[in-house]
Amino acid sequence: MAYCGDDQFTIRIDLMCSGEVRYLCWHKSNSILAKPNLILRQGTITENEDGAGAEYVFRYRGCIYTVEHLRSDDGRSDLFFVEVTDPDQKKSTWKMEQMSIPKYLL
């Protein structure tokens, strides 16, 4: 569904065979073949009416993790914004860029 990153993190969002939406996050210093630093389950997906994007939302320990996916016209330069809202409503946001999924993961 989504594979993105920046200079700090690599994030992958999967739709499991069961229909569950899963969020996986690795610190950039780790390989994606290693165990993820954070795994979130039971996410929800909201597609934009015009098909230009989607929003994935996950809840964990009082925090809300939101990934906004903005689709590009060419399909190769999508943008992602990751926002984490803590229980005190403090927000942290990261801009991510689409990454190519390595062939060994396909």
Question: Per residue in 56-87, pLDDT tens?
Answer: 999 999 999 999 999 988 877 899 999 999 99
In DSSP terms, which residues pair with 54 in a beta bridge?
Answer: 47, 69
The size of the chain, in residues, is 106
Nearest to 97 by CA among 21, 8, 15: 8
- Contact status, residue 80 vs residue 2, Cβ threshold 8 Å: yes
Question: Per residue in 41-53, pLDDT tens?
Answer: 999 999 988 888 9
pTM, two decimal places = 0.88
- Contact status, residue 94 vs residue 82, Cβ threshold 8 Å: yes
In DSSP terms, which residues pair with 96 in a beta bridge?
Answer: 80
d(CA 8, CA 35): 16
